[in-house]
Structure 1
Amino acid sequence: MAFLQGLDSHIVIVGCGISGIGAAQKLLSHGFHNVRIIEATGRSGGRIRTGRLGDKIVEIGANWIHGPSQENPVFRLACQYNLLDEKSMTEENQSVDVGGHPPFVPDLFSSSGKRLSPELAGPASALFTGLLQECQEFHASGREPVPSVGEYVKREAARRTAEEWRDEPADTRALQLAMMSMLLKLECCISGTHTMDDVGLGAFGMYKTLPGLDCTFPGGYEGLIHCMMKELPKDIVSYNTPVKCIHWNDSVQRTSPSGRTFPVLVECESGETFPADHVIVTVPLGYLKKHQETLLSPPLPLSKVHSIQRMGFGTNNKIFMEFNEPFWDPDCETIFFVWEDETDLVDVVPNVEMSWIKKLFGFTVLKPTERYGHMLCGWIAGHESEYMESLPEAEVQQSITELIRRFTGNPTITPKRILRSQWYHDPYTYGSYTYVAKGCSEYDIDILAEPLPLKGSNTKPLQVLFAGEATNQSFFSTVHGALLSGWREAERLISHYSPSSYSVSLGSKL
């Protein structure tokens, strides 16, 4: 009987990204029928956003399926909807385990316009990769010799290179140190942080990688969103409806025509209101950081506020560039730019306005050529990336053109057109994705994911639930982490109303 009553519950989901869509799918499939998604923008998908440069499909947001194997629910859905190429779905591709860092065939250029041999970069790459693996192991050991990943890498690199490379010629050693600075910038993009000095050493190993060689969607990542949305009722989403405040704990009484009262009322900026028994909040951590004081009434408990403040949410942007002819080798997959003056292991620039371009570590080559033509994707993270967003597109294009000409020594290289992402200035994200900052631990992610009211309260439970990639302890920053978190909160509600017939271990999902 309780379960049947539960199916009548009014559930509002804030945010129509993959987390919110996944939660809605699961609730509807288990008989809940009063489910509504409220979306601030005019589209579904959130940080999954596919665009076009000319007639070519490019990913403005999420780029890869990280770890495309059977353990990854995004991969399983992509296969179910037949959205991937045959190679990505092979057993061989699923079994490759690269520890989150796929091997790339690189072209290397230095700031003096010289082509560098891959052999020269080998020692630097091997040392850097080894240091990152050491950083990941501190979480399991419970040790934290220094507060951040950046401090550990810089300290150990300086010590070990002095010992291991002492017989190298001075210019070779300097280039290898500059190469490590470039790799630090690359890691800033992977982690989504301004500097690796901001990433907590003890928490770095919380992130778990899945087997499988990262793959992309030939028709665009948004194809997955379109397929998922087709399985939902057509009128389930209220688009262009930003939420102003979520009033919970009966702070605003609203009675339905039937005389039923609801503990939660979602108030939108338009004045429209949605009464609910349960609200699942799936907004990005960047939005929570910006609006934590006003998004809920009563306000968030201090424990949640402090966790939101401690956790990291950074910016990682892309700059797509299309060329008439390639200046890179046919088998090249990444282009690295090594600044010869950066021998002190630096991942920030001294003057953002004057030198922001130095934070761009290089490009990935979009393949296959038959699909993309001659196109590169540049990557830039941190405050330099946020400043880049504020510049006119023509100025960005000019800066990168000059950069490429300097490093290649070819003064005629000119891109046809560019397209950049601007996630920091997006009013509903304020950045790209979550990282574990200094002073942050798994408990902060647990606290962020904990529903309101908190345990021990005598009021109606599970009024406000929290999902999104920032609430997933093992897969924060990923699409599959976001999807799993949406499923987790849907399962929390399902098991609340039917604990005996639908049992799920929520703890293993966090």
Structure 2
Amino acid sequence: MGSIKRSTFQHYEYYKSLHAPGNNMSLCTATATATWGKNKETARIVIIGAGASGIAAATRLLEQGFRNVLLLEAEDRIGGRIHTIPFADNVIDLGAQWCHGEQGNVVYQRVKDLDLLEKRGEPAMHFFRSNQEALAEDQVKALRNFMDSSGTLTDADYEGSVGDYLTHKYWQSFPAMERTVAKEALDCIKKMICSYDACDHLFELSPQNHLTFAECEGDPNLNWRDKGYKQFLRVLMAVPDDQPEDLGVLRGHVLLNKRIAEINWQGADELTIRCWNGEIITADHVICTVSLGVLQEQHKQLFVPALPAAKVRAIDGLRLGTVDKFLLEFSEQPMPEKMLSFNCLWLEADLRELRGTDNFWLEGICGFHRVAHQPRLIEGWIIGAHARHMETLKGEKVLEGLLWLFRKFLPFDVPPPKRFLRTQWHSHPNFRGSYSFQPTYADELRTGRWDLESPLADVSGRPRLQFAGEASSRTHFSTVHGATETGWREADRLNEFYAARA
């Protein structure tokens, strides 16, 4: 690690020297309408955020011949919402976990020949009611068929929310079971779909979230064996196998612990970036990849001058939802041998009682499942406002609630775990959420991801302030492959600009 730190410092000193007073490589002071006096070797590009989109942008720019590329990362690690850590028998992913699909998925295409991904197949579903009664096999099959056939809105003319659509379809064509149980199952299905789309509830989810998303054909839940999603970042950075902590081609191009206080894009010349510690960095181009949640919280203070109205509408109109994980390590797997997952159906009386207790947040739990290559683990998921409240509780209080839930629903014993972790993506100041969705509010504002994607350029068309990240992807939002594509998109935008002037 020492050599990495030294090379980073040396590159940074060189980077600063490029725009030192009197340097003959400093920015031309001519107006934007004059010939731009930079090329790929001299243009200074700063990327804010070293997540998947930032790393994708940086590595592609270097491949395209740009020399002065610098990533500023607020965390003390790279990866953003990809965060693989050692846990239990190998590793776990606190953020992105699966590669979703094969055909048209740039993540899959990059690693498909490297023996990193594994197909697991569709696990059998189990549903338990809050009286420990399990749904019958035919009932589970009916629920699965409904989710497969009607869980995604495909009617381009539909004007309500996804919640309206799903509720209508459910009662129109289903269920062949007692109505009380059917209602419990519908509530559970809605939470499961919310966990896919990151919304608090389906009645705030726009049909556009389903209509514009492009599914990648193939297995939707490819796992990373015992290596974790960080392997994809290593592939992007071309990290040698024998140097697991190296940064590969990005060695010398990444500065950690660089939280940004201000991005000044005033005028038509260079941009000025001020870090929280007062340090000033200047650039010819800035690619901002911070999460939508951070943009929503900070854009008024972060950008000087204020962003254009169309950009602000997109930031305010879109949403970064909250989806958190629970990870419980046991001495041995407590779930029965043939059970891979289970979901919870609340009896109405039990749910009313729960809502009057300190454990009300348990209503937001979607379910639990085993983890591939982690034989002693159970992983659980919680969504929305309940997840945000859970994040404010002490860890022991959360675990106490989960053990109570297991006793309430399961006909088998689950002992206290050896170790327990929960994620807190919303509480984290550098993320403020998990992944994005388009609410009906964005439809009312007549805005969307196209406005978030749009770069801010000078009158000659030179991109000055650009935006990337999963929330700016028009068709693959909320995925790593979408985030990666947006990083490449903005790198290619700069490459095309300079190629036209070569």
Q: Same fold (TM over 0.5)?
A: yes
Report deviation, 1:77.
Answer: 2.3
Report deviation, 1:334.
Answer: 1.9
SS of 1:116's equivalent in the other structure is coil
SS of 1:336's equivalent in the other structure is strand
Moved more, 208-217 or 375-384: 208-217
Which residue is 1:56 aligned to?
90
Report deviation, 1:208.
Answer: 1.2
Match of 2:448 among 444, 447, 452: 444
Report deviation, 1:16.
Answer: 0.4
Which residue is 1:149 aligned to?
162
The answer to whether 1:14 aligns with 2:48 is yes
* Residue 353 to residue 472, structure 1, CA distance change in 2 (3 Å): farther
What CA distance in whole angstroms lies between the structure 1 residues aligned with 2:315 and 2:301? 14
What CA distance in whole angstroms lies between the structure 2 residues aligned with 1:62 and 1:203? 19
Which residue is 2:4 aligned to?
none
Report deviation, 1:323.
Answer: 2.5
What CA distance in whole angstroms lies between the structure 2 residues aligned with 1:227 and 1:412? 39
Q: How does 1:341-420 map to 2 (within 5 A)?
A: 341=348, 353-367=358-372, 371-410=373-412, 413-420=415-422
User: CA offsets, 1:435-473, max 9 Å, x none?
Assistant: 1111335952111111113xxx53662110110001101
Match of 2:77 among 19, 26, 43: 43
Q: Which runs of 5+ in 2 are unaligned?
A: 1-34, 240-247
**Percent identity (aligned):** 28
What CA distance in whole angstroms lies between the structure 2 residues aligned with 1:205 and 1:360? 26
Report deviation, 1:377.
Answer: 0.6
Match of 1:34 among 58, 68, 88: 68
* Residue 6 to residue 352, structure 1, CA distance change in 2 (3 Å): farther
SS of 1:154's equivalent in the other structure is helix
Which residue is 1:278 aligned to?
285
Report deviation, 1:110.
Answer: 1.4
Match of 1:220 among 207, 228, 234: 228
Report the aligned-residue RMSD: 2.6
The answer to whether 1:190 aligns with 2:196 is yes
The answer to whether 1:204 aligns with 2:236 is no
Which residue is 1:242 aligned to?
259
Moved more, 384-393 or 71-80: 71-80
Which residue is 1:96 aligned to?
none
Report deviation, 1:2.
Answer: 7.6
SS of 1:210's equivalent in the other structure is coil
* Residue 351 to residue 306, structure 1, CA distance change in 2 (3 Å): farther
The answer to whether 1:72 aligns with 2:105 is yes
What CA distance in whole angstroms lies between the structure 2 residues aligned with 1:495 and 1:351? 59
Match of 1:127 among 136, 146, 170: 146
Amino acid at match of 1:250: G
Match of 1:330 among 327, 332, 337: 337
* Residue 351 to residue 271, structure 1, CA distance change in 2 (3 Å): farther
What CA distance in whole angstroms lies between the structure 2 residues aligned with 1:288 and 1:61? 19
* Residue 120 to residue 3, structure 1, CA distance change in 2 (3 Å): farther
Match of 1:114 among 133, 147, 152: 133
* Residue 203 to residue 397, structure 1, CA distance change in 2 (3 Å): closer
Q: Is the 8 A contact 1:189 1:380 kept in 2?
A: yes
Report deviation, 1:379.
Answer: 0.5
Moved more, 17-26 or 172-181: 172-181
* Residue 358 to residue 203, structure 1, CA distance change in 2 (3 Å): closer
Report deviation, 1:359.
Answer: 1.5
Amino acid at match of 1:492: R
What CA distance in whole angstroms lies between the structure 2 residues aligned with 1:281 and 1:412? 45
* Residue 272 to residue 342, structure 1, CA distance change in 2 (3 Å): farther
Match of 1:430 among 425, 429, 432: 432
Match of 2:321 among 310, 314, 318: 314
SS of 1:293's equivalent in the other structure is helix
Report deviation, 1:217.
Answer: 1.3
